[in-house]
Structure 1
Amino acid sequence: MTSRSRDLDVVVYGATGFVGRLTAEYLAKHAPEGTRIGLAGRSVERLEQVRAELGPAAADWPLLRADATDESSLRDLAAAAHVITTTVGPYAKYGLPLVRACAEAGTDYVDLTGEVLFARESIDRFHDTARSTGARIVHSCGFDSIPSDLGVHVLNQQVQADGEGTLTDTTLVVKMRGGVSGGTIDSMRTQLDVTKHDAKLRRLAASPYSLSPDRSAEPDLGRQPDMTMMVRGSEIAPELNGWKAPFVMAPFNTRVVRRSNALSGWAYGRDFRYREVMSVGSSFATPAIAVGVGAVLGGLMAGLSFAPTRWVLDRVLPKPGEGPNEKSRQQGYFTTDAYTRTTSGARYMSRISAQGDPGYAATAVMLGESALSLALQRDDLPESPGGVLTPATALGDVLVDRLRGAGFTIEARRL
């Protein structure tokens, strides 16, 4: 295992981008005194501007030049810190060289990816290397996919504590106010481009177990659609009203949660079926709203797949590095409620909620606390030899406690 002696605890790579800057700002305000933090990016001049805006706490933070196209600079970056936090995407374009550098150096790594094919390639190419060095490569440490992954994690913990068997049909219901980031849109474009002319990659991206360590070992639970187009609330839980709509992040989040189940030896159960939907209220109009949401999402994907309409969409959709103003970020919020029935017939739910735009303000908290979990509490983390892991399997209760301390509600109970 590679030595853990490094000059810095955490480096924020991509600190001049929108979410990278928000993450650096969060760490400047909330990292414990004495935490050694650095900022990295292509331009030292721009990094100096960001550091100057972060206040006295960041005045002495080192600045490191690193470029996704310069593997030597990425190796130097990985050697400098215990944890690299990266917001530089789309990850399929820019992410793999840094994953490699961290895996080889035994450096822990966290990112914000919601890209199935990038995560799959990272697993295939670098999981064994990271295990050999002890590096924890933890993808999806923002709104993709911490509320989903930790929501099922704490749900399962409560079921196990009560001795009520394992999880079966489980549905996450999302309520949120906030925008879709330009980075998320760019990731969607990239995956559409990659799969457009490759049937094998399309099948891989469509598989419900596309991120599982061994897809042949997964149980055959029948069809598990990427996005449930429309479902009545009472079908999820008797107390839920209205209709639920497709959730745009479900195709990625569901695969992360299934990977967590497999990496933990199917701790959630071999009969665990998982899906995600979005709440659109409980009024008489919700069926029409749910249909409308599905139509918009379908239209967006179709539009990005067709050159003439993509040209138009590229001019109106948010671009990478763009985001809402501070007032809008603070007015956002999210709540995710996971409902399950266990093999004993008992019903449970878990809730994760937080104030702040999910894709920006809340994501900066989740990413920052994920990095601090690895840098400051590594001895308390779930036992693991390293590898390409998930938030639940790499960070577990340490991150749960840190997010609670940061103002998140995280709870589970029997219904």
Structure 2
Amino acid sequence: MSDNSREFDIVVFGASGFVGALTAAYLAEHAPDDTRVALAGRNRDKLARVRDALPAAARDWPLLIADVESPSTLDAMAARTQVICTTVGPYLKYGENLLAAAVTAGTDYVDLTGEVPFVRWSIDKFGDQAAANGCRIVHSCGFDSIPSDVGVYLLYRAIEADNAGSDGDDDKGGDGKTNAGQMTDTTMVVKSMRGGASGGTIDSMRVISDLARDTENRRILLDPHALSGPPHDGRRTPRSAEPSDIAIRDARKVDPSLQGTLAPFFMSSHNTRIVRRTDVLLDNAYGPDFHYGEAMAVGKTPVLSTVAASLVSAGTGVFLGAMALPPTRFVLDKVLPKPGDGPDEKSREKGYFVCQTFTRTTTGRRYRSQVSAKGDPGYKATAVMLGESALTLALDRAKLPDRHGILTPVAAMGDALVDRLRMAGMTLRAERLD
């Protein structure tokens, strides 16, 4: 149920951009008929063209003029809506004034950031104020980092269900339910994926490579618990206890059902920090021995997958190094996607992703969850996840956890988000393997 004290349920900020327009289209097709949506951006003519191309449900959506360089326009926009859904990145360059406007107005907020320094800044700058004003600031509501965050949460819920009623002493509790224990080493594996990195993601990587030259920012980027600290001081283990974001891994050590060698997943350095923050926000519910990493499947044959994983690992390092050096950065900027660029509809429809997360518990039980969806991960599938996140905050307020401040998708929305993503056609499930 929406809050009628505000004029709008959702404002899509950046609606004239590529992903913004996809998100607006998703809401036009799937939001309940009475959902009050407005489109916002700098240029009215561009917004009008986007609206004209949307389904009939969007014909009367208002157009709002707001500019990240004009804080007063952002303040006015934030005061009129329950939820701001923003696709305007890189957030380190363009997100600060909008975030300030949302927190000041007590307005819920969702974004697509994959930028650890931006989330860290928002925690330090606005954590206390956001909590006091009763708003939910929810970062990383697209392919970064919903499959990661929700995948671990599904495991937690499955283990919790098995633990319910157990006496904690034997393999079986008094009512026959499994004493599953708590999670220990947990790894998300991108089993398969088709799609490309968006221009916005590439632009964020440009910004982060520039920041990495500064000692303090480099410390934040390298800290596996960079987002786990105040206002919730959740660091329980030294850095060395957490899995490396760049190492190749023996698949069978992740889970006996896997084969070959796993490569690093290029977004693990952000996703892992979001998952660890969720654990802290849930009062360390995942357990004192919980550790989390991410990897990518590149084949089952031991020799070939090891070669492929090594190439991916080396290539990732070379790419990040090239982004940091002006001469090679100049060349990459000529060939990589630009902000606002994206694949055509046919390519977006052919995309997909399958992410499986594995854990072994303190009692030796093995569990696996799966989060998967059709559609290019960075475009179509991200529009679904971002759109459903905004709808969850706007329309399912009575179902949300009583938690406010700088949050993660799971900490902010929990089961309500899981339910919506399932209804949207995504596969979300968890099972015990032995």
Return the alpha-carbon distance in structure 1 between the equivalents of residues 31 and 244 of structure 2.
37
Moved more, 46-55 or 276-285: 276-285
Partner of 1:13: 13
Summarize the Cα distance change of 1:204–1:286 in structure 2 as closer, same or farther, 3 Å threshold.
same
| Structure-2 separation of matches of 1:402 and 1:339 | 23
Match for residue 344 of structure 1 among 351, 363, 368: 363
CA distance in 2, matches of 1:169, 1:228: 17
1:167 pairs with one of 183, 193, 203:
183
The match for 1:256 among 274, 279, 295 is 274
Q: How many residues align?
A: 411
User: Is 1:50 aligned to 2:50, yes or no?
Assistant: yes
1:187 to 200, 204, 208: 204
Distance 1:23 1:146 in 2: 16
Residue among 314, 329, 332 paired with 1:310:
329
Distance in 2 separating the partners of 1:145 and 1:30:
22
Question: What are the equivalent positions in structure 2 for 1:320-399 lying under 5 Å apart?
Answer: 320-384=339-403, 386-399=404-417
Unpaired segments of 5 or more residues in structure 2? 164-179
1:133 to partner: Cα distance: 1.1
Structure 1 position 398, deviation (Å):
0.6
SS in structure 2 at match of 1:265: coil
C-alpha distance in 1 between matches for 2:92 and 2:244? 20
Quick one: distance in 2 between partners of 1:181 and 1:322? 7
Contact 2:82 2:108 in 1 (8 A): yes
Answer yes or no: is the 8 Å Cα contact 2:143–2:382 preserved in 1: yes
User: What's the offset of the Cα at 1:222?
Assistant: 4.9
Q: Which amino acid aligns with 1:350?
A: S
**Larger mean Cα displacement after TM superposition, 214-223 or 71-80:** 214-223
Q: Give 3-state SS (helix, strand or coil) of 2:39's partner.
A: strand
Whether the 8 Å CA contact 2:143–2:378 is kept in 1: the answer is: yes
Question: Conserved in 2, the CA contact under 8 Å of 1:139 and 1:391?
Answer: yes
Name the SS for the 2:294 alignment partner: strand
Provide runs of 4+ in structure 1 moved above 3 Å: 213-217
Q: What is the CA–CA distance in structure 1 between the aligned matches of 2:130 and 2:244, rounded to whole Å?
A: 29
Number of the residue aligned with 1:147: 147
Which of 220, 230, 249 pairs up with 1:231? 249
User: What code does the residue aligned with 1:87 have?
Assistant: T
Distance in 1, matches of 2:28 and 2:211, equals 37
Tell me if the contact between 1:141 and 1:366 (Cα under 8 Å) persists in the aligned partners: yes
- Counterpart residue identity of residue 221, structure 2: A
> After superposition, where does 1:74-153 map in structure 2 within 5 Å?
74-153=74-153
**Residue 200 (structure 1) aligned with residue 216 (structure 2):** yes
350 and 19 in structure 1: CA distance in 2 versus 1, 3 angstrom threshold: same
Partner of 2:175: none
When normalised by structure 2's length, the TM-score is 0.93
CA offsets 1:138-175 (integer angstroms, 9 cap, x no match): 00000000000011011101111111221100000012
For residues 235-314 of structure 1, what are the structure 2 equivalents within 5 Å?
235-283=253-301, 284-314=303-333
Contact 1:48/1:63 (8 A) holds in 2: yes
What CA distance in whole angstroms lies between the structure 1 residues aligned with 2:282 and 2:4? 25
Shift of 1:326: 0.8
Structure 1's 60 and 4: CA in aligned 2 closer, same or farther, altered over 3 A? closer
Alignment correspondent of 2:235: 218
Equivalent pair of 1:228/1:276 in contact (CA under 8 Å): no
Q: Which has the larger displacement, 281-290 or 366-375?
A: 281-290
Q: For 1:112 and 1:266, how far apart are their aligned partners in 2?
A: 25
Give 1:129 shift: 0.9
Using structure 1 for the length normalisation, give the TM-score: 0.97
- String of CA shifts for 1:1-54, please: whole Å, max 9, x gaps: xx9711110010000111000000000000011100000000011000000000
3-state secondary structure, aligned to 1:285: helix
Does residue 403 (structure 1) correspond to residue 421 (structure 2)? The answer is yes
How far did residue 293 of structure 1 move?
1.1
Q: Matches of 1:99 and 1:216 in 2, distance apart?
A: 23
Once superposed, what is the RMSD of the aligned Cα atoms?
Answer: 1.2
Q: Residue 354 of structure 1: SS of its match in structure 2?
A: strand
- Unpaired runs of 5+ in structure 1? none
Paired with 1:405 and 1:22, the residues of 2 have a C-alpha distance of: 19
| Deviation of the 1:195 alpha carbon | 2.6
Cα distance in 2 for residues equivalent to 1:363 and 1:39: 18
For residue 395 of structure 1, give the secondary structure of its aligned residue in structure 2. helix
Larger mean Cα displacement after TM superposition, 223-232 or 324-333? 223-232
Cα deviation, residue 360, structure 1: 0.4
Deviation at residue 365 of structure 1 after TM alignment: 0.1
Cα distance in 1 for residues equivalent to 2:315 and 2:5: 50
**Alpha-carbon deviation of 1:216?**
5.6
